[in-house]
Chains A and B, each alone.
Chain A
Amino acid sequence: GAVVSQHPSWVICKSGTSVKIECRSLDFQATTMFWYRQFPKQSLMLMATSNEGSKATYEQGVEKDKFLINHASLTLSTLTVTSAHPEDSSFYICSAPGQGAVSNEQFFGPGTRLTVL
């Protein structure tokens, strides 16, 4: 089946630094990927839609200059949290839609736990 990986699985950084999170579709191509953020004991909130070869689409209230998204290839999307602050600490999850018969299904990465000190 379709597998999505994320790297790193967890990261701790100092306030003011930037952190890059990678999302890869391992055995299929994804022209679109989705980035979510999940705060403790809350649901997943869609942050942005990553589009291969074009600009990402951000949800209302998400700062595009703070959360930089690059979809450089059909199997890789990156989310960079710039000038991270403690309030950015969260669980970040990416997903990619399947292909063919499972094109209406999202395949989720395992998530990246970000802690900003």
Chain B
Amino acid sequence: AQSVTQLDSHVSVSEGTPVLLRCNYSSSYSPSLFWYVQHPNKGLQLLLKYTSAATLVKGINGFEAEFKKSETSFHLTKPSAHMSDAAEYFCVVSEFPGGYQKVTFGTGTKLQVIP
């Protein structure tokens, strides 16, 4: 069965300090993994994705994530937080059991950036 666990529902960091948003997954197949960001009352924006190529994935706005199969993790990081990074972040797993696509969302992590 496919599942996604975002370990922190809320993360608070000071502006200019590193960001770490944690995500663990389980999958019976070779999954693709994504991080999306959602600003208040807005749609979803893709930050980055892992699709079985390089395990260290770089995305937009300075974010990156590393796929660690042994740890079943796909944590999102950024060296220095900016005020505009304050938003909700979702880790998403996609797989193709039986030929059809199945997408599962994590519960989300709200990132607060303190000036």
CB pair A113–B46 under 8 Å, yes or no, is no
CB pair B43–A104 under 8 Å, yes or no, is no
Q: Chain A binding site: helix, strand, loop or mixed by DSSP?
A: strand
Interface membership of chain A positions 46-77, coded 1 if the CB is closer than 8 angstroms to chain B and 0 otherwise: 10010000000000000000000000000000
Interface residues of B in 17-47 (CB under 8 A from A): 32, 34, 36, 41-44, 46
Interface centre among B43, B94, B101, B107 (most CB of A within 10 A): B43
Q: Which residues of B contact A (CB under 8 A)?
A: 32, 34, 36, 41-44, 46, 49, 51, 90, 92, 94, 96, 100-101, 103, 105-108, 110
Q: Supply 30 A–B pairs (Cβ within 8 Å), ascending by A.
A: A32-B100, A32-B101, A34-B103, A36-B105, A41-B110, A42-B107, A43-B90, A43-B106, A43-B107, A43-B108, A44-B44, A44-B90, A45-B105, A46-B103, A49-B100, A93-B44, A104-B32, A104-B51, A104-B96, A104-B101, A105-B32, A105-B34, A106-B92, A106-B94, A108-B36, A108-B43, A108-B44, A109-B43, A111-B43, A113-B41
